[in-house]
Structure 1
Amino acid sequence: MVYKFRVILDAEEDIFRDIAIQEDDTLEDLHNAIFNAFGFDGMEVASFYTCDETWNQEDEISLFDTGDEPGEQKIMSDYALSDLLDAQNTKIIYVYDFIQMWTFLVELAAIEEPQSGESYPALLFSHGEMPDEAGEKIFEAENPDDLYGDYDDDYDEEDLDNLDGGDNFEDYGFEENWN
């Protein structure tokens, strides 16, 4: 079967690409199709994130194994698209370039029979021009008063006198001029 995705840039303007790819292709194959469809060079790190129906981010699936033990963490190439996405689970988030934070909402729009003579992945439709920079992301708590919890920034003079000012590097196991 062929999965047809609509990949939408998280931006104010409508910028999206429709991509067809085989269901047994991997998330890494989808990653390659997305960065090619949007004109990126593919030289940046990226991740997919599973999400719920309202796009709330869940588990990260990265391009490379970043775990403490090699092979401990599953990566994009370990997942066939059909492992994560189907008629009931249609959404996934894609982030390309963790400096720019290009964020895309990827939704499975259709599952169809492959077209005879067609090669996959295929860019089916392109709408909108990519901006020069990713839009600014605003990360904030639902209730800003809860952001710091019970943090108390009132110090008395005795507390301030007991602070060493960060100049005692012997406690950290390295010398002051370590570089």
Structure 2
Amino acid sequence: MIYKFRAILDAEEDIFRDVAIQEEATLEDLHNALVNAFGFDGLEVASFYTCDDTWNQEDEIPMFDTGDTPGEQKTMSDYPLNQLLDQENTKIIYVYDFINMWTFLVELAAIEEAQAGEIYPSLLFSHGELPETAPDKEFEAENDDFYSEFEDDLDDDDLDGFGDDSFEDYGFEENWN
């Protein structure tokens, strides 16, 4: 079977690509297909994130094992698409280049029979041009009054000892080395 995905750049403008890929392909294969579809150079790190039906980010699936014990963390190459996505679980988030944060909402749009003679993965449709820079992200706290607990901020008393080069209170001697 073939999975057909629509990857939409998380931006105000409509910029998306439709790709088709074998259901046995891995998330790493999908990553490579998206890199090619959007014209990236593929030199940056990326991750997929599982999400709920309203695109709330859940678990990260990285390109590389970044765990404390080698081999302990699963990576993109460990996840065949058909083990992670199906007719009920159709959404996943893709982030390319953690400096610029190119963020894509990727949705499984169809599961179909492979077309004879077609080479997969393939770019099915392209709409919109990728901007020169990634769209700005506005990160919001889950709680609207996140800062309310910090309303009192720092008092002048909280800064005693700073700015007067006085470190006696910290147990440092003037020439400690």
Matches for 1:1-179 after TM superposition, within 5 Å: 1-147=1-147, 149=149, 152-155=152-155, 157=157, 159-161=158-160
Mean CA deviation greater in 144-153 or 81-90: 144-153
Measured at CA, do residues 132 and 70 of structure 1 come closer, stay the same or move farther in structure 2, by a change above 3 Å? same
Alignment check: 8 A CA contact 1:4 1:19 kept? yes
Number of matched residues? 168
How many Å separate the matches in 2 of 1:142 and 1:40? 32
Contact 1:141–1:147, Cα closer than 8 Å, also in 2 = no
Distance in 2 between residues matched to 1:167 and 1:63, nearest whole Å: 48
- Listed one character per residue, the Cα deviations across residues 21-51 of structure 1 (whole Å, up to 9, x for unaligned) are 0000000000000010000000000000000
Aligned-residue RMSD, C-alpha: 2.2
Percent identity, aligned pairs only? 72
Q: What is the one-letter code of the residue matched to 1:8?
A: I
Distance 2:75 2:54 in 1: 24
Equivalent AA in structure 1 for residue 119 of structure 2: S
- TM-score, normalised to structure 1, is 0.86
TM-score using structure 2 length: 0.87
Distance 1:39 1:166, change over 3 A: farther
Match of 2:175 in 1: none
Secondary structure at 2:160 match in 1: helix
- Unaligned runs of 5+ residues in structure 1 are 172-179
Q: Which runs of 5+ in 2 are unaligned?
A: 171-177
Distance 1:167 1:90, change over 3 A: farther
Distance 1:153 1:6, change over 3 A: same
